[in-house]
Structure 1
Amino acid sequence: MDDARSGNVFYETRKDKLFNKVNNLLLLLITACVLYPIIFIMSASVSDPIRVSLGEVWLWPKGLTFEGYQRIFEFNPLWVGYRNTIFYTVIGTVINLFITLTCAYSLSRKDLVGRNFITLLLVFTMFFHGGLIPTFLVVKKLGLVNTYWALLLPSAAFTWNIIITRTFFQTSIPIELQESAHMDGCSNTRLFLSIVLPLSKPIIAVMALFYGVSHWNSFFDALIYLSDRDLYPLQLILREILVLNQVNDMLNMTTDQMESQMKQMYMAEIMKYGLVIVSSLPLLIVYPFLQKYFMKGFLVGAIKG
């Protein structure tokens, strides 16, 4: 490549060309490995269930039908789970961000007395945990069992995320800027809200994505702490359908007449594919809006310092 303005001439050697070709080939293979399962699931969810069961669907839909989605949308517990999961994800992420950002900012300040000792206590919890039974007893003693808060308060913050966010504040927010704000009479609260947070959009987006995905995919805590089906998140409803094989109940509840057992089995297969799409779609929609902040915030927070 010849850059006439700078007068520099760049030659691509045979090894460079070979490397680029191999690199592009590997990237294409990785992309295909990532996209194929998604395309297959989407195609299978709208294909003829018999042809799916016979293995005739490889890439594109065959025997286009939306009956599987129709029956999924008619299953009322699914929408209850959706409502609960949205609540857990939104409220839980807000709580997580509040605790993570405030704690991380405090630990990033050099004038915080005992910040190294506090950091040591936080890191200690990463290696030594009370375990399931003590945690359950604590949650029970607090009266949180079978309530919304059982899924929100015990997981209010993750130590690793606090450390990453603290490192971001230390490396990306100039201490001179904070000192200048204090000289102008800015309080710590106003400094945090008006200066630090607007400059921390990348790490906020990363933490929101991490916590949001964690809440959206969580089912174990609900399995331990909840017995009221009206409080079940979406993932616990899907677990009952997929793992405990309750798809037939869905079919019986949404049809007036009993279908043959074989047709129910075929329909159950494409409904499973449809459930994967329905449960994953919100995250697939949200991620592109956070992507531009994701790598920047994660790398700065994790590598520097």
Structure 2
Amino acid sequence: MSSSATIHKLHNTKPGKVFDFFNIIFLFLFAAVTLLPFMYVVAGSFATESELARRAFFIWPETYTLNAYRHIFTSDAFVRSIINTIGVTLVGTLTQLFFTFTMAYPLSKRNLKGNKFLMNMVLFAMLFSGGMIPTFLVIQALGLIDTYWALILPGAINPFNLIIIRNFFRNFSQELEESAKIDGASEFQIFWKIVLPLSKPIIATFALFYAVGIWNDFMSPLLYLNDSSKWTLQLLLRQVTISADPNALGEVDPNYVPPAEGMKLAVIVIATAPIMMVYPFLQKHFAKGMMIGSVKG
């Protein structure tokens, strides 16, 4: 009897049905605990200031208003910060994918000279780091302070991700590569025209990992960006959420008082929404690529 048939048979028993019932209840409660705070943030971003002050928690506003979003999108500081964040995320993700994959592929070759030494260096970098102050001094010595490269280059290669991708390439069909070599393809052509097109799941997986990490990165911009015109969305979000000034994004109309609490919630929604919208397009590759390369070393 196959394992799937055995599992199906167990689920049809009384203990199996009881387990399924409590499992569904547990997962529903877990999902509710996860979703309810975000639902409140979304609802609050569309609510009036008086309702936010009057009601401690709600997931459906009594009166809808777009004042918070209207104020945010008419702010030069916000528009500039979201353009900065999108640019850094796109360039950073492409840079990190390029360096990680181009280093992982040659390290997957067992006949590469110095392979063991290089992998030991990668493992050392994964386990030990210089810390925040030495890293800052290196960035400063390279003249990268107050530049976007300070947000991208220090994380150009993630050692853990590199090991996962290297393991994936090690499990790649050797016969396919050898047949390409017989046809006269170079190593670069094999990598670019054969290996990468067949690696879409793992590319999508780590592209999402890198993009989410860069988009949500708060500490690096805080340390390395001094010019407020170069701030990313996360820095602006910090400025809005900790500031008691309703004009934290800049005053558009002197006679208009922006909705302070609603604006905080709206900025959180806007900072979260892009990644949530990208995920469905990568989901089919992401689910397949999660475990790729994590089995064999």
Q: TM-score, normalised by structure 1?
A: 0.89
Q: How does 1:84-163 map to 2 (within 5 A)?
A: 84-163=84-163
- Relative distance call for 1:282 and 1:180 in structure 2 (3 A) is same
| Paired residues of 1:240 and 1:246 also in contact (CA < 8 A) | no
Where do 5+ consecutive residues of structure 1 fail to align?
Answer: 1-5
Question: 2:221 matched to 1:222?
Answer: yes
- Relative distance call for 1:148 and 1:86 in structure 2 (3 A) is same
Moved more, 61-70 or 196-205: 61-70
Amino acid at match of 2:201: P
| Paired residues of 2:237 and 2:267 also in contact (CA < 8 A) | yes
| Paired residues of 2:239 and 2:248 also in contact (CA < 8 A) | no
Partner SS state of residue 153, structure 1? helix
Whole-Å separation in 1 of the counterparts to 2:164 and 2:245: 42
Correspondence for 1:44: 44
Deviation at 1:56, TM superposition (A): 5.5
- Relative distance call for 1:181 and 1:27 in structure 2 (3 A) is same
Whole-Å separation in 2 of the counterparts to 1:299 and 1:247: 46
Amino acid at match of 2:271: S
Question: 2:169 matched to 1:177?
Answer: no
Question: 2:285 matched to 1:293?
Answer: yes
Amino acid at match of 2:213: S
Correspondence for 1:271: 263
CA RMSD in angstroms, aligned pairs only: 1.9
Cα offsets for 1:223-248 (capped at 9, x unmatched) = 11111112111111111111244434
Whole-Å separation in 1 of the counterparts to 2:220 and 2:90: 17
Whole-Å separation in 1 of the counterparts to 2:102 and 2:248: 47
Whole-Å separation in 1 of the counterparts to 2:175 and 2:43: 56
Deviation at 1:159, TM superposition (A): 0.6
| Paired residues of 1:51 and 1:57 also in contact (CA < 8 A) | no
Cα offsets for 1:66-99 (capped at 9, x unmatched) = 1111111122101111011011000011100000
Deviation at 1:274, TM superposition (A): 0.5
Amino acid at match of 2:279: Y
Where do 5+ consecutive residues of structure 2 fail to align?
Answer: none
Whole-Å separation in 2 of the counterparts to 1:223 and 1:101: 29
Partner SS state of residue 154, structure 2? coil
Amino acid at match of 1:254: V
Deviation at 1:33, TM superposition (A): 2.2
Whole-Å separation in 2 of the counterparts to 1:153 and 1:193: 23
